[in-house]
Structure formats: C-alpha cells, structure tokens
Structure 1
Amino acid sequence: MTGTRIFSSSARGTTRGRAPTRAAQQPPGPAYRPAGRRRHIPRWRTTDGGHDEGGIPLYVHPGTNSRAWAALSADDQPVSWVVVNQNSGPGSPEDTVLTAAAKAVGSGAVLCGYIEHNYGAVLDFDMKGQAQEWVSRGIAGAFIDRVSSDAADVQDVARTVLHLREAGIAYVVLNCGTVPAPAVVDLADVVVTFEGSMAAYRALTLPDWLTALQPERTAHLIYEAAADEAVEAVGLARRRGCHHVYATSATFASGNPWSTLPDYWPRTVAALTRYPSRSTHVWPR
C-alpha cells in the first residue's frame, strides 16, 4: 500500500493473541475505587442506562477496506472506542485519508491512537512523542498494546500512563490481553483482560475481583468466532461483567485478525443492544 505499511503479518504493531493462561494465577484484589484527582487515575460519574458496546481495533486503511470504516460511521453504532493505527503507531507523514475516516466514526466513540509498549521495551520518551503526534491530529485517546500484566511492572506502567496523560491523552486503553494484577486496572480508563480465540474465550475463568469491577473498566477481544459464536460472546461478556466486547471471524493465523469488521457485524450490533440498560460510569472528557 502506497504511503503506509499497515498491518502485514510482519508489522511490529500487529496485536498479538494471547490465551489467558495466567488468569487463575492472579491474586485477588479489591474492586476499583476512584483515588482522588491524580491525573493518571481515571474518574467516573454514574449515569442511567447504557447497553454494552464494542471496543474495536480496526487495523486497516480505508483505501483497502472502505466498507468497514463506512459501517462504523453509520448512526447508532454501539461502539465505545476505535483504534486507529497508521504504521504501528502514528507514522509520518500523517495519512490524512485514514485520519478523516476515523473522525467520521459515529459521535460518542473515542478514537484511540495505537502505541506499542512491547512490555516496556519501548522508551517512555518515544511513546510520549507518539502520543503528542496523535493529539496533534485530534485523536486524544490511546490504545497501548502489549502491556505487562505483572504486579512487578505496575510502577513502570503507571509512569508510562502518566507521561501519556501529560502529552494530552485523555482516554487510555491498556491491552494486557490477559488478567492483570489488580493494580494495573487502576491506571487506565479501560484494560483489555482477554484477547484470544473464541474457543479460549468459551473456556475462560475470571477471578471474582475482576468480575466485580464496574463493567466499563474491562474489554474482551475475540477472534475466530463464527456469527452465532459472536452473539454467544456478547452474552458471555455480559455475564462476566465486561462492557466492551468485540468478536471477529478473522483468524490470528492470517497475521492480522483486526483487519476488518466481520460480515456479521449487524448481528453483533443487534446482540449488543438487545440486553436491558444498566447503570454505567461515564468518563468526563
């Protein structure tokens, strides 16, 4: 693709799938409670109602797949956030076609610029520079990929998130891909606590402290799910106390399971909006 290197199987920023093998090993911890007004700790307010929504990593250029971006620009899509990934990050120069397609996503969805963390291997200085670039494009959310779930790394992750907040990032999604140490959840607006296949998701067991959190604190990303399985995944996420859920039919073996919306996306929309409203917590912007 001219001008971009989006998301081939060799792209460094392609989201890795990880089975939740460590979930049962995590120690119990307290449910999240707001902790003052420190900038790196999210604050919330309760509002009435709100069906579950999709948090969608869409790692594809609209020149390659305009249908996916157009679907998300339609009214009343149950989407809470969408990840924008130009070249394993913001890339340079800015791809204005990709930025415009992202900004056409329905109002209410937060745009999150992709930033690679690689379990601490990427310097905070570099990540802050990427965050500033995303903010300069009018994208004030950040999706931080491959974040450590270990309790020993909490301070390092907290420092990284603080630098991103200082760069102007207002909404942070941390992709641990598995159940993290409880303290990690306090650092971000949303933490991805599962990323993997539908078979692994069906077998997933979560600790009680995690399912007791406010539902919008966690996200689940599922690939290799047929249409009926995607509807099943929405129901499983609901029962597991997860507000942000997304399932796709694409496979991890393809190199990029997040390269499109599945053909059955309208069925997912119907499943997400089928359940009764419940109290949610809305992050002040």
Structure 2
Amino acid sequence: MTVSLAPLLPLCTHPDNDPATWSAARLTAPAMGAVVAVRLPLAEATPSLGPAVTGLVRAGCAVLGYVSLAFATRPVAELTDEIATWSRLGATGIFLDHAPAGRSHVGTLRLAHRAALRAGLRRVVFNTAGPADPLCRDLDAVICSFEGSWAEYREWDGYGSLPGDGHLVYGVPALERAKAVTLMRRRGAGLGLVTELGWPSGVQSLLTAAALP
C-alpha cells in the first residue's frame, strides 16, 4: 500500500499581526500539498480571522482548525461550540489535540467526530500521540500515532501505527530534515510534521513548529 505524505503547515499567529506568514501559506501550501492547521485561541476570532481562513481555502489549502480535547476532560457543550466555530470561520477540517486513546474514552472521540461532520468539517485528525484503541480507528479520521523527538522517532519501532497515520517529530537538525522526511515516508505516514524546534511545553503543542520541507 502506497501512502502519500502530506506536510502539516502550522499557523500560530493572527493574520492581523503576521500577514506575511499567512500570505506565504496561501502561496506555498497548495503547491506542496500541505495541510494548514490554524492554532489560535478562539478568543482571538476577530472579524478578520474568518476572511483570512477563507482566503487560504480559496487558494486551494486544506485548513484545519485547532481544538484541544484535553484528554476527555472538557465540557461537551464547550467542545462542540469550538468545533462549530471553526466551521463558521471557514475551516474545512479539524485538528483535535490531546485526544484520549483508550477504549474507555472512545465515546469522546465519537462525539467530537460527529460534531465535526455535523459542522461540515470533513477532514478530522486526532492526535493521540501514541497507539490508539482499535475502536478509535472505526472513525473516518487520521490518527497521529507518534509525537516526539527526532531521537525517539529514530528508535521508534512503529508500534500501534498504521499506514496513513500522522507522525509529528521535533528537534530535527536542519541537515537531517531530508533524512527525517525519508524515514517518515518509509514508515507510511500520511500526515507529517518535521521541525528543528524542541519538545513543546505546556499547551504549546505541535502547531508552534515549522512544516516539512
């Protein structure tokens, strides 16, 4: 089975504050087949954010809004409202970070998945950052089954990962980026992030990083 690797291009700045980065994303993401993930607190959903997201989509970008599942600890109404808000802002999909991977929390993933589809968000990505229960894979979604450092990725045995999964790799030296991308492709990743930055801290997750080359 051959799987195409789509780079994950993160946008973590507001278009009002960093128009050059948003402009670059509109130009480069479609050409490289990248998936653009917008990680901004929805408190920053100013009137200009929706048109900026829509501009990316019109340029041919697949755009994921960012929502944290907080390992199934968030109120359902709050979670579904955030997912619906990204739809109203023009996103075409959703990146659900801090996703629980165990059987006891599959209900949370199903709920989030249904909320995304109801909102018209057809591309759903769950970042479980490790192996997910087989029931999680019954959903039509991408599972990010690895999140960690370049050293860990080199030693990783691929346990729990399937072709098409997302792999999110940090701390990759510039001279080894091509090697990391080659390894990612060899392991069948369908969505990938390679960055020179180190391991993120606190709530600063993968979307603080740079995209694949």
TM-score (norm 1): 0.64
Say if 2:147 and 2:169, in contact at 8 Å, map to a contact too: yes
CA drift at 1:122: 0.8
Which amino acid is 2:67 matched to? I
The runs of at least 4 consecutive aligned structure 1 residues that moved more than 4 Å come to: 63-67
- CA distance, structure 1, for counterparts of residue 156 and residue 146 of structure 2: 9
Say if 1:86 and 1:98, in contact at 8 Å, map to a contact too: no
Match of 1:210 in 2: 161
Say if 1:174 and 1:188, in contact at 8 Å, map to a contact too: no
Say if 2:69 and 2:97, in contact at 8 Å, map to a contact too: yes
Match of 1:70 in 2: 23
TM-score (norm 2): 0.83
Match of 1:274 in 2: none
Q: Which of the two has higher C-alpha Rg?
A: 1
- CA distance, structure 2, for counterparts of residue 253 and residue 142 of structure 1: 20
CA drift at 1:172: 0.9
Determine whether 1:61 maps to 2:14.
Answer: yes
Match of 2:122 in 1: 170
Match of 1:117 in 2: 69
Change (3 A) 1:150 1:50: closer
Pick the aligned partner of 1:259 from 201, 208, 212.
Answer: 208
- CA distance, structure 1, for counterparts of residue 186 and residue 9 of structure 2: 20
Say if 1:54 and 1:79, in contact at 8 Å, map to a contact too: yes
Which amino acid is 1:85 matched to? R
CA drift at 1:58: 2.6
RMSD: 2.7
- CA distance, structure 1, for counterparts of residue 52 and residue 209 of structure 2: 14
Pick the aligned partner of 2:136 from 178, 184, 199.
Answer: 184
Name the structure, 1 or 2, with higher relative contact order (CA <8 Å, separation 6+).
1
- CA distance, structure 2, for counterparts of residue 60 and residue 247 of structure 1: 19
- CA distance, structure 2, for counterparts of residue 109 and residue 179 of structure 1: 29
CA drift at 1:124: 1.9
Say if 1:197 and 1:223, in contact at 8 Å, map to a contact too: yes
CA drift at 1:156: 3.0
- CA distance, structure 1, for counterparts of residue 104 and residue 25 of structure 2: 38
Say if 1:68 and 1:261, in contact at 8 Å, map to a contact too: no
Say if 2:193 and 2:210, in contact at 8 Å, map to a contact too: no
Aligned to 1:105, the other structure's residue is in SS state helix
Aligned to 1:194, the other structure's residue is in SS state strand
Match of 1:224 in 2: 171
- Unmatched segments (≥5 aa) in structure 1: 1-48, 269-285
CA drift at 1:50: 8.1
- Unmatched segments (≥5 aa) in structure 2: none
Aligned to 1:164, the other structure's residue is in SS state helix
